[in-house]
Structure 1
Amino acid sequence: MSPRRSYDQYCSAARALDAVGDRWTLLIVRELLAGPRRYTDLHADLPGVSTDVLASRLKDMERDGLATRRRLPPPGAAYVYELTRRGGELLPVLQALGKWGEGELGERRPTDALRAHWFALPLLRGLAGEEAEDAAGSGGAGLVEVRLDEGDFHLYVGAEDGPVYGEGPAPGEPDARLVLDADTCTAVAQGELSLLDAVRAGRIEVAGDSPLAKALREA
């Protein structure tokens, strides 16, 4: 394994970029925020990354204590990568970067890949926003299933440990189910529309009887 490159600057921002500033590293973190992932799954959901670069970044992340690799018990018996606690602490960094980049999103280009679960972090920002938190109060945490034409995913709102989202329908009965289209998701991701305003405008259908679902409908 090659030695990690460094800016050789006695600055915490520079030290952080020593660990996560390489191309693809933060996007790998984005994928691993969904929980343990196989190498093949990571490669499929990171279109454009070469196998050599992905393998190299994962090794770097293991070395730097951001991710670990382990073998699943039978019958799976596959190797998976997952974030360490320190790797999971990059969630607010990614959220801040996503918020800063809202104005950069613009129109989707013909060459732009899209995965439904890439909307997970913008929707989590919406659900964790001040207005949404005020509306939901103590009922603001829970499991939320999101249904899009492009695919389903689920969110762990208020999660302090473990995955913050996952692909596919929620495991078990969700506290709330959101049904919306990609245009609405894009408007929320671009900062043009708040999640609660989308609910009020009828662009997001909210189902469920939990305090969280009721708070979203009644906000």
Structure 2
Amino acid sequence: MPPRRSYDQYCSAARALDVVGDRWTLLIVRELLAGPRRYTDLHADLPGVSTDVLASRLKDMERDGLTTRRRLPPPGAAYVYELTSRGRELLPVLQALGTWGEPELGERRPTDAVRAHWFALPLLRSLKGEGLVEVRLEEGRFHLHVGAQEGPVHGDGPAPRDPDAVLTLDTATCTAVSRGTLPLAEAIRTGHVEVAGDTPLAKQLRDA
């Protein structure tokens, strides 16, 4: 593989950007925080990226120790990409970047793509404690592994087991929470978010 491009600056921020500063890299990390993904799944959830660029970024990320590629056992027999522990350490970086970018979100433009699970990281920033939370939107469902120290932090579709809490809300409310204009606790208190469940996590959400 060609050598990594570098800013050639003895600065940790510059070194970090040597690794993750290319376009699409951090968005690939966002998708892989959901766990192992096939190339076709990544391409489908990264609208606008070309196949050549996606393949190149995945190779770069594997070279730099952010991801690994492995083959699923039969009957799957497909290759999947997943984050290494080093790659997963980018979660707080993405969370901080998302918080910083909230004022930039504005109103959705006609050309803006959206996937239900793209709301996962903004909601995760608003949740404390530990547990499995299923989120139900008009666009679809996704789930959050709140407080997870390893493995996926979110996933597309219904929760893989009985969730500790279920949040039901409309897209406008979810967008307002993502934009930072409506705190999740306030949205729950005012009835814009319905919380179902009788676990400590569900009670904590209702009492916040």
TM range (shorter): over 0.9
DSSP 3-state at the match of 1:101: helix
Counterpart of 2:89? Answer: 89
How high is the sequence identity, in percent, across the aligned residues? Answer: 82
Counterpart of 2:170? Answer: 181
- CA deviations over 1:173-201 (Å, ceiling 9, x no partner): 00000000111111011110111110001
**Superposed CA RMSD:** 0.5
Q: Distance in 1 between matches of 2:99 and 2:25?
A: 18
How many residues align structurally? 208
Counterpart of 2:23? Answer: 23
Q: Distance in 1 between matches of 2:51 and 2:205?
A: 42
Q: 1:68-217, aligned counterparts within 5 Å?
A: 68-128=68-128, 140-217=129-206
- CA deviations over 1:157-215 (Å, ceiling 9, x no partner): 00000100000000010000000011111101111011111000100000001000011
Q: Distance in 2 between matches of 1:154 and 1:83?
A: 19
Q: Distance in 1 between matches of 2:111 and 2:156?
A: 23
Amino acid at match of 2:133: V
Per-residue deviation, 1:217:
1.2
Q: Structure 2: any 5+ residue segments left out of the alignment?
A: none
Amino acid at match of 1:165: H
Q: Distance in 1 between matches of 2:102 and 2:16?
A: 23
Amino acid at match of 1:158: G
Per-residue deviation, 1:70:
0.2
Amino acid at match of 1:47: P
Per-residue deviation, 1:147:
0.3
TM-score by length of 1: 0.94
Per-residue deviation, 1:3:
1.3
Runs of 4+ more than 2 Å apart? none
Per-residue deviation, 1:218:
2.0
Q: Structure 1: any 5+ residue segments left out of the alignment?
A: 129-139
DSSP 3-state at the match of 1:19: helix
DSSP 3-state at the match of 1:113: coil
DSSP 3-state at the match of 2:55: helix
Q: Distance in 2 between matches of 1:106 and 1:83?
A: 30
Per-residue deviation, 1:2:
1.7
